[in-house]
Amino acid sequence: MSLLPPPAWLERGRIPGLDGLRAIAVIMVMMAHACQTAGFPQFDLLTAIASHGGVGVEIFFVISGFLITNLLLREIRRTQRANLQAFYVRRSLRIFPACLCLLGTVFLVSQLGFATIPWRDWLAATTYTLNFVHRPAWEVGHGWSLSIEEHFYLLWPLLLLMLGTVRSGRVAIGCLVFCFSARWIVLFAYPEWTQMAELWTFTRLDTIAAGCLLALLASSDAWRDRLNRLCTFRGAVPVYIALLMLSVGLCDLSGKLSVGVGYSVNAILIALLLWSVLTRADSRLGQFLE
């Protein structure tokens, strides 16, 4: 028997609070880049928060996996299929204009002599493979996360449509296990590539997979009840925020802990935090995020 009715947004409409969470993630990343910029004011608290701005990327990854999967599941339930052509067109119109604007600006800056971008980096930037380039130019290097997103957009809708929800859920779980294992293999067998293990698609896709799995679980009455038990108790949001901060803090103690364990633990905690927030749309927190 269901403990709570399913949220109305599972079937239609925008998801309340999601834009607010994305804004927080974006601000964290912007702070991280700003504090690394010459001349930006340096305050201890601001610098401490900015030093962990990478968590904003992890939050964005989980949200992306959850949002895209939920949108695809809605369409499949409504029409028994997913229009992949329309999906890819929508994604392209969302991403390509901004990306082309950025690359055009960087090209102009490079032509004026204020930046030097090797041809290798231009090729990677235009093909969304920057996350496989070792130490790309700073002006385009942050496109690594967009590259992972693009690979996800390309593969996941096809898998979901071909395999169905149950087997896709197993794929998401398998991705969590595989990426965790792959990072440890790099740490022990190829430690010189540890920095790249934080960027490669096949070692970082588990964060997005956590969001995909959350959406798949939320679409099932039985599994949604289990999620609600984990996320709707009083104080769930501060508890998961505290656990996430603890995880991030512990990862500061060791690079192996950060790469080997931190990304996996953070992905799960962010997914639980996300559901805890989304089930409180009418609360003060939900209104604030809106």
Task: Give yes or no for a contact between 278 and 15, defined as CB atoms under 8 angstroms apart.
Answer: yes
Residue 159 covered by a domain? yes
Q: What is the pLDDT of residue 283?
A: 87
What's the pLDDT tens digit per position in 124-167?
Answer: 999 999 999 999 998 999 899 999 999 999 999 999 999 999 99
Tracing tokens 């340096």 back to the chain, one arrives at 42
| pTM exceeding 0.95 | no
Residue 72, domain extent: 16-289
Residue 5 covered by a domain? no
Residue 8 covered by a domain? no
Percent of the chain with pLDDT over 70: 99
Residue 10 covered by a domain? no
User: 212 — phi, psi (to 5°)?
Assistant: -60, -45
Residue 147 covered by a domain? yes
User: 7 — phi, psi (to 5°)?
Assistant: -60, 140
Total domains in the chain come to 1
Confidence band (pLDDT; 50, 70, 90) for 13? confident
Residue 167 covered by a domain? yes
What's the pLDDT tens digit per position in 50-94?
Answer: 788 889 999 999 999 999 999 999 999 888 888 899 999 999 999
Q: What is the pLDDT of residue 231?
A: 93
Residue 176 covered by a domain? yes
What's the pLDDT tens digit per position in 24-56?
Answer: 999 999 888 888 777 888 777 777 777 888 899
Confidence band (pLDDT; 50, 70, 90) for 120? very high
Task: Give yes or no for a contact between 11 and 74, defined as CB atoms under 8 angstroms apart.
Answer: yes
Residue 6 covered by a domain? no
Task: Give yes or no for a contact between 221 and 160, defined as CB atoms under 8 angstroms apart.
Answer: no
